[in-house]
């Protein structure tokens, strides 16, 4: 089972995304800011990181710089999500694997995760966006 780490300081969003990903057949872990995400990555196997850009504490851009500077996580796929345009996000950090603009589209999110994780191991089932009204389209 592929593991996705969801990183967002909005706890209800992070928890709802993790729930949706579990329903889609992924193992979903949650961190509520970048430093906590680094702790999780240090102790758990993670296939893909889904992180918000703008967060309190360590933001997504700083998290991404940490991941890219460490040889053990340099190649870890990172999906950056933000309400900012991709051009503005790119100005803050450019080494992400995929960019998704909020509000997220369920199909685009699952497609991005699927493209970045091991394609030989498909998710168990598909999920709807229950509990994410207004955040996921």
Enumerate the domain spans of the chain.
3-116
Over residues 15-67, the pLDDT tens digits come to 999 999 999 999 999 999 999 999 999 999 999 999 999 999 999 999 999 99
CATH class name, domain 3-116:
alpha beta
Over residues 57-114, the pLDDT tens digits come to 999 999 999 999 999 999 999 999 999 888 888 877 889 999 999 999 999 999 999 9
Q: pTM of the full predicted structure?
A: 0.86
Beta strands in 8-129 (DSSP E): 27-31, 48-52, 78-82, 98-101
Between the CA of residue 133 and those of 89, 106, 111, 119, what are the distances in Å? 24, 11, 19, 29
Given a contact cutoff of 8 angstroms between Cβ atoms, the answer to whether 7 and 40 are in contact is no
């Amino acid at each position: 089972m592929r593991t996705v780490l969801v990183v967002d300081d909005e706890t209800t969003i992070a928890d709802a995304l993790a729930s949706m990903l579990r329903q889609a057949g992924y193992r979903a872990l949650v961190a509520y800011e970048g430093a906590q995400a680094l702790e999780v990555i240090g102790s758990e196997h993670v296939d893909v990181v889904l992180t918000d850009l703008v967060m309190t504490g360590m933001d997504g851009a700083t998290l991404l710089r940490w991941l890219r500077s460490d040889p053990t996580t340099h190649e870890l796929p990172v999906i950056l999500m933000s309400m900012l345009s991709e051009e503005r996000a790119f100005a803050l950090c450019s080494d992400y694997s995929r960019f998704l603009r909020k509000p997220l589209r369920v199909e685009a999110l699952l497609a991005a995760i699927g493209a970045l994780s091991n394609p030989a191991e498909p998710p168990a089932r598909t999920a709807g966006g229950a509990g994410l009204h207004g955040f996921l389209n």
